[in-house]
């Protein structure tokens, strides 16, 4: 529910780190923590990443891969 709050205990070191992460002087700890957790959640693997991985696995299964030595030979870099 909006308006509800809770209290958490943090060490002085964590408080100092949160203070350094402030984007503006009056940014609340709640805003800092919310921003950090949102940014972390958004860092995850994307759908495009998953599709690229699946495509690469299919290439491996189908033998559409080369070793470094094979690639050098194919490109005439021996």
Domain for residue 35, yes or no? yes
Residues 53 and 71 in one domain: yes
Report pLDDT digits (tens) over 2-42.
679 899 999 999 999 999 999 999 999 999 999 988 877 67
Residues 49 and 37 in one domain: no
Tokens of 11: 């060490």
Domain that holds residue 52: 45-78
Domain for residue 5, yes or no? no
pTM of the model: 0.49
């Amino acid at each position: 529910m909006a308006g509800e709050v809770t209290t958490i205990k943090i060490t002085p070191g964590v408080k100092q780190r949160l203070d350094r992460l402030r984007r503006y002087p009056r940014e609340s700890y709640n805003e800092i923590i919310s921003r950090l957790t949102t940014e972390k959640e958004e860092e995850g693997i994307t759908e495009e990443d998953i599709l690229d991985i699946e495509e690469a696995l299919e290439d491996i299964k189908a033998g559409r891969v080369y070793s470094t030595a094979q690639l050098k030979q194919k490109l005439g870099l021996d």
